[in-house]
Chain A
């Protein structure tokens, strides 16, 4: 009853146009801010979500760029290795150790004759994208397991076999074949072993052998003391991280450009979200200002009425409660509308991206809702402070 009477006394319709302007401004501002948060949340999900995980995307082979200055000096120094390990966006660094002995490989089948010199490399097992029980070696082993790049098989099947008139080979067939692996010691003496291909890798473009074999062979056939690696594999959550790309560039390092190309997209997304943030924040600031002015105007235009109400014994609390009830509910409406719009946009986005096999959540992020509530609290606080301030002035 009291509020009904107060509503008749304190006319809140004093600046209806201003109120509508503030309402629209606030809605747009809120929409931009919440959208920025939602975009970030989606992007985060795209980067780290399990359904989007790409086995090769998170591992990069890094080496020095070969140019006139670094020719024959591409060994990575301890300093650089430490630096790499210390970067926050690099989770692990695996040294690729090369064989320090000469080797060759040849076919044992006459219908598929080939012979080639070869060099082996090895890396800790955790950096290899092939999972097979054959990937082990000791001195009693019957064969040396090898992993070759997928690319090698492609080159054979689609270039070599056609031009030389050889049959194409399936990965399964290749895995069944035995090869003769010749290892030479420093004096040129040769020792032959059986080698077998156990898997194909997309990650490291090198002929890989188990670390245990590499250690043994280097000791038995090797020509020099252990040196630092020329290449390393790094594991990172986000190969598209612009900071990582910049770090590699600054240190004269290079990697598979294909994997870091997301860096460019990422920068664009960052710019868009930042612009959205900033615009939203500035608009919010102005909308808050207009709101404050609107409240001030209303209270000022009812100065005499408020004064008389206080004379008659109305408590500041009663007036504040009444005014908050007049001014605040539209704010709740704005936040709810903004959240509904973003939910709709998110659902549409989900549908569109699903068609392209990209998975984002069909619902809005928890953080977006939290941000909406936070803005609502901010609005409540601004309303409250303004009302308190101007009632006190009367």
Chain B
């Protein structure tokens, strides 16, 4: 999976961003399965906007975006579903969990949407690693943000992918839990030969990044 950006500028932030120098906005950039990329940026510079654009959640931008050389405008809803099931996974900053489902059901949903990559036991294995086994059968709405974030991380890792998008994935986790979660993510990406794009506010050493970009 390869995402190519050609002079992308989100329309709502256009005036603000055009004056700044950026490694991503209004330039040519490629994210692929070979690279672990960190994008560092302060609040309000469009980290979430970028992740949403890369995931084809929003189309209000100038420039061109390609998924595996195909212009994103030409990707129909069937291809979109296939790519999101097979090649491109995501951890949203706002997590996007179903509040009325249990933690396990939220993860299970993502496991069975595509042809399952892992069997059901893997949910428990991952939950054990991240220390959330006790809330697996609890309704997500009743879980803490930290727990919800770990559910979202496992959900993103339970499916097959070639590229993983992460939007401040550790924002609700303490240092120890962040390290554990980062290790799991690194392990899963290595296993799949997958790349990732991670956005965050500060510098960190959670991963061996191949590139560190600023937004």
Contact = CB atoms under 8 A, between A and B. Distances in A.
B109 A316 contact: no
A314 interface: yes
B81 to A, nearest CB: 3
B81 A314 contact: yes
A8, A308, A313, A314, most chain B CB atoms within 10 A: A313
A318 B109 CA distance: 12
A1 B77 contact: no
A8 B101 contact: yes
Contacts of A310: 77, 81
Contacts of B98: 9, 305, 308
Interface stretch (B31-39, B110-118, B186-194): B110-118
B81 A1 contact: no
Contacts of B81: 310, 313-318
B81, B83, B110, B114, most chain A CB atoms within 10 A: B81
Interface residues of B, number: 20
B85 A5 contact: no
B112 A1 contact: yes
A5 B100 CA distance: 11
Interface string A22-39: 000000000000000000
A224 interface: no
B84 A313 contact: yes
B206 interface: no
Contacts of B110: 312-313
B176 interface: no
B2 interface: no
B108 A317 contact: no
A176 interface: no
A311 B90 CA distance: 10
Given A8-B101, A308-B96, A311-B96, A316 B108 contact: no
Interface string A297-311: 000000001001011
A4 to B, nearest CB: 9
A2 interface: yes
Nearest to B105: A5
Q: Rank and list the top 4 A-B pairs by shortest CB-CB distance, nearest first.
A: A313-B84, A315-B81, A313-B85, A2-B112
Interface of A: 1-2, 5, 8-9, 305, 308, 310-318, 392
14 contacts: A1-B108, A1-B112, A5-B105, A8-B100, A9-B98, A9-B100, A9-B109, A311-B96, A312-B109, A312-B110, A313-B110, A315-B81, A316-B81, A317-B81
